[in-house]
Amino acid sequence: MKNLSYLLVLTIVMISCRQSRLPKITPDVITEFTLNDTDDSAIWVNPKNPAESIVFGTDKKTNGAIYAFDLNGKIIQDKTIRDIQRPNNVDIEYGFQLNDSIVTDILVFTEREKQQIRMFSVPDMKPLDGGGFKVFEDEELEENRLPMGVSLYKSPKDATVYAIVGRKTGPADGYLYQYALNADSFGVSSKYVRKFGKFSGVKEIEAIAVDDENGFVYFSDEGVCIKKYYAEPSMGNEEISCFGGEYFDEDIEGIAIASYTDGHGYLIVSNQQKGEFNIFDRETNAYINAVNLSTTETDGCEAVTVPLNDTFKNGLFVAMNDEKNFYFYDLKRLGLQ
């Protein structure tokens, strides 16, 4: 009994030591609760009326969903996609060419238990994928075909939209697969383009983020570092850098990119067990500082830098919170200019 009591006290002390000692920044908005387990977020900016923009968030179970929230954190029932079998990560891309006359924004997310990605139009939320696009089909082991992370990249060369997909487990090299999303008279299809990305084997890779303007893809090799590669397939598969690991307590999780029109910007990365977010310079990837946004065990996060409404005059940062909800912040409250 004494040993058990000692271990309990030691565990409490260790957890307490890991908690952030930075001043807490409380959210401007807390969303309504989801049913199961929140994980990742994506923000769609309404070009006609930014105040009617939508935040999407995954709810990660067999009876999962992609929840849609308004900027007050209320669930938009008719924009929410339900009965998804363990959706993990989600992303948005603008200006997908469906045919000669129709251009739409799209939402793509992973559906782990069906070993596929899904694709819907935004904001009308119509499926464009015929039920889903299979991923990692050449893998012999089923556990290596379970998708988790996803991020979208739109090439400035020819406007091709790519889905870059990670999985629950994978090899030391070629952990990520990249698929071109193409539309023709028969509908939308997914075409395998390449595999890339080195994996340490320490934990897993889930969080993926793409810097469209600069053509880079970042992902969290969770126990090691943030890894950086070229998003354009023709630029090759060599790792550009592995940085930031020394600033994380344990798991390196969600990555958000705050990009401004003058070219500067930031990477905002969840330091999950510490309860903080580390901020890095977008151009140099140098560490700047950390903030405590009062979230618990944050996985996914997302940012946009355009004004949306009176609450989010400087842009919006969204962070998953481990209480079946998401926290919204005006971007300036993170100290970003």
d(CA 217, CA 311): 30
Q: What is the reported pLDDT for 19?
A: 76
Q: What is the reported pLDDT for 297?
A: 95
d(CA 62, CA 161): 28
CB crowding 266-302: b at 16 or more within 10 Å, else e: bbbbbbbbbbbbbbbebeebebeebbbbbbeebbbbb
pLDDT mean for each 10 residues of the chain (337 residues): 48 55 97 98 98 98 98 98 98 96 96 98 98 97 97 96 97 98 94 98 97 97 97 98 97 97 95 96 98 96 98 98 98 92
Domains within the chain, CATH numbers bracketed: 24-253 (2.120.10.30)
Give the count of beta carbons closer than 10 Å to the beta carbon of residue 316. 28
- 13: DSSP letter: H
Q: What is the reported pLDDT for 185?
A: 86
Q: What is the reported pLDDT for 5?
A: 52
> Looking up tokens 């962070």, which residue turns up?
319
Let me know: does 195 contact 177? Beta carbons within 8 Å: yes
Let me know: does 320 contact 34? Beta carbons within 8 Å: no
* Tokens (6 digits) for 306: 């355009």
Let me know: does 315 contact 329? Beta carbons within 8 Å: no
Dihedral of alpha carbons 297, 302, 308, 312, sign: positive
